[in-house]
Chain A
Amino acid sequence: MQHIGQAMLLTLLLSSFTAAWAELSSQEVATLRHLLYQDCGSCHGLHLTGGLGPAITRTALQSKPTDYLFTVIAKGIPGTPMPPWESQLSKEEIQWLITELKGPHTP
């Protein structure tokens, strides 16, 4: 019973995870995309090619694991101007940003 419970929980977690950004409304996605290019862009460049902060193009992030990117966005990088975004963004929103950054839309 306990196993089944665990399995169910896992399934639930997984499905909620994969569905996470499917659940973001198109309005939320538009807001996030705007945030990425306009506000992240104020340090990383409107085309994500870098500024005071490093380039965050698909190519630049190729070797960076998703977990690492999640931590960087959520917690920031101490000693640098990269701030922690966890008080501004939900986990799902951070996940969406990472998927977007690694996906085909970014340069």
Chain B
Amino acid sequence: MKHLSILLILTCLWVPATVMASLRGTGDLGVVIERASGSILIVEHSQHTVLGRVSGLGDLSHASVVFSRDARYAFIFGRDGGLSKVDLLEHRIVKRVIQSGNSIGGAISQDGRFIAVSNYTPGGVRIFNADTLSKVADIPADYGQKTYSKVIGLVDAPNNRFVFSLYDAGEIWIADVTDSQNPQLTKYKDVGRQPYDGLISANGRHYLAGLFGEDGLAHLDLWHPDRGVKKILPGYGKGQNDQKLPVYKMPHLEGWAIAGSQAFFPAIGKHQVLVANTENWQQIGTIPVIGQPVFVMAEPTQRQVWVNFALPNNQWVQVIDVESQKPVKTLEPGKGVLHMEFTPRGKAVWISVRDENRIDVYDTQTMQLIIQIPAEAPSGIFFTNRAHRIGL
């Protein structure tokens, strides 16, 4: 008996308490960035609760997250160049490196073995081993005479490639990391001035970079990379009478909504959501909205598109009905709506309301508030179903 109790005690000591308490999957977990306090919340969206907080993650302004393919680990990209690997079950930092002076985001390779980070300082992309976070390769964004460009719009693409844009150089590069130590680069020059963000379509075929410095978008068909980068939507960016409003927050392309054969995306400097045909990339519609859109995101059933806005209209969210192409609901969660994330099958949407220190969870069908969750200056919200989606 005595032996048995010693054995029991030993077992209890050996198995981490968190595992004892809750053996669980990660499919309904997520991460909320608390940008001002350098922490994240680990959340679950079955019951809409907070499971824990992990601190010590540095400067999380504009932080983003990707997940390991087993959806157990979150890789967090901080503004200060920090790359952190967090265990979603044990609520702890497994590994953390400061990989640059100033970074903007990252991606995980198709095979899950590599993490790529896009950097402003020094301008370029660095590739890390996803297990150990040890550096595998360095790709300086040198566009001539040792001039380095800020890198934006980094995404993963099929066949273990990463695609990204050079803001200062106006270039798009593909890095094939099949031979991880020696990434093979394909460079496209003169794609347009000041590409400021990029996205890849959910099937991994189309890479698009938004251009700040001129009208239009740069489009690369990854099925036919030899055809080069083409300019599409030449009217994109032009305001009424060519008069753009000041842009108080850069739109994000990551959330570009592609619903059926239609793409919905934020106009720059205009109170509009634009609609394009994804077959020929011609603009086919314009939807007036309440402010300058920042994120334009399709709800998973693709029946609705949810939109948030730049200052001074960042207290609003509008819901556009895809069929009628009209806003059907305007919500006012509060000042500083920064991001939205849908639960994987679309029943609910989590909305971060930075200035109210809150996350509001809405039912996407009734558009009624389900619950409010306290969070410190929340920004990005990332659910683990991203682990299994190209480009996220």
A residues within 8 Å of B by Cβ?
34, 37-39, 41-43, 45-47, 49-52, 76, 79, 81, 83-85, 87-88
Task: List the A residue with the shortest CB-CB distance to B213.
Answer: A79
Interface residue ranges, B against A (CB under 8 Å): 35-36, 59-62, 79-80, 102, 104, 120-121, 150, 152, 167, 194, 196, 212-213, 246-250, 311-312, 336, 354-355, 377
Chain A residue at minimum C-beta to C-beta distance from B247: A83
Is the CB–CB distance between B213 and A51 below 8 Å? no
Q: Which residues of A contact B121 (CB under 8 A)?
A: 50
B246 CB contacts on chain A under 8 angstroms: 76, 83-85, 87
Cβ-defined contact, A34 with B355, below 8 A: yes
- Shortest C-beta distance, A35 to chain B (Å), equals 8
Smallest CB separation, B95 vs chain A (Å): 23
Query: Shortest CB–CB separation between residue A10 and chain B, in angstroms?
Result: 33
Q: Would A50 and B102 count as touching, CB distance under 8 A?
A: yes
Q: Among A41, A76, A81, A84, which residue has the most Cβ atoms of chain B within 10 A?
A: A81
Is the Cβ of B79 less than 8 Å from the Cβ of A52?
no
CB distance from B166 to the nearest CB of A (A): 13
- Contacting residues, chain B, for A83 (C-beta < 8 A): 246-248
Q: Chain B nearest CB: distance from A81 CB in Å?
A: 6
Instruction: Give me 20 other A-B pairs in contact (C-beta within 8 A), A38-B336, A47-B79, A81-B196 excluded.
Output: A34-B355, A37-B36, A38-B36, A38-B354, A38-B377, A41-B61, A42-B249, A43-B250, A45-B59, A45-B79, A47-B61, A49-B59, A50-B102, A50-B120, A51-B61, A52-B152, A79-B213, A85-B246, A87-B246, A88-B312
5 contacts between A and B (CB under 8 A): A43-B250, A45-B61, A47-B79, A52-B167, A76-B246
B104 to chain A minimum Cβ distance, whole angstroms, is 7
Instruction: With CB as the reference atom, state the residue of chain A lying closest to B79.
Output: A45
| Cβ 8 A contact of A81, one of B61, B62, B212, B336 | B212
Give min CB distance, B339 to chain A, whole Å. 12
Select from chain A the residue with minimum beta-carbon distance to B35: A46
Q: Tell me the bound Cα distance from A47 to B37 in angstroms.
A: 12
Given A39-B311, A81-B250, are A51 and B196 neighbors across the interface (CB < 8 Å)? Answer: no
List the A side residues contacting B355 at CB < 8 Å.
Answer: 34, 38
Write out the residue numbers on chain B whose beta carbons fall within 8 Å of the beta carbon of A39: 248-249, 311
* Chain B residue nearest in CB terms to A44: B61
Cβ A45 vs Cβ B102 within 8 A? yes
A46 contacts B79, C-beta separation under 8 Å: yes
| Residues in B neighbouring A85, C-beta threshold 8 A | 246
CB proximity of B359 to chain A, nearest CB, Å: 17
Residues of A within 8 A of B35 (CB): 38, 46
With the chains together, A83 CA to B104 CA distance in Å?
21
Which residue of chain A lies nearest to B38 when distances are taken between CB atoms in the complex?
A46
Residue of A nearest to B193 (CB): A79
Inter-chain contact B79/A51, CB cutoff 8 Å: yes
Min CB distance B187 to A, Å, is 22
User: Are A46 and B59 closer than 8 Å at their CB atoms?
Assistant: yes
Q: Identify B102's interface contact among A49, A76, A87, CB under 8 A.
A: A49
Q: Roughly how many angstroms separate A81 CA and B59 CA in the complex, as a whole number?
A: 22
Q: How far is the CB of B303 from chain A (nearest CB, A)?
A: 31
- Shortest distance from the beta carbon of A83 to any chain B beta carbon, whole Å: 4
Q: How far is the CA of A85 from the CA of B247 in the complex (A)?
A: 10
Residues in B with CB closer than 8 Å to A49 are 59, 79-80, 102
Q: How far is the CB of A15 from chain B (nearest CB, A)?
A: 31
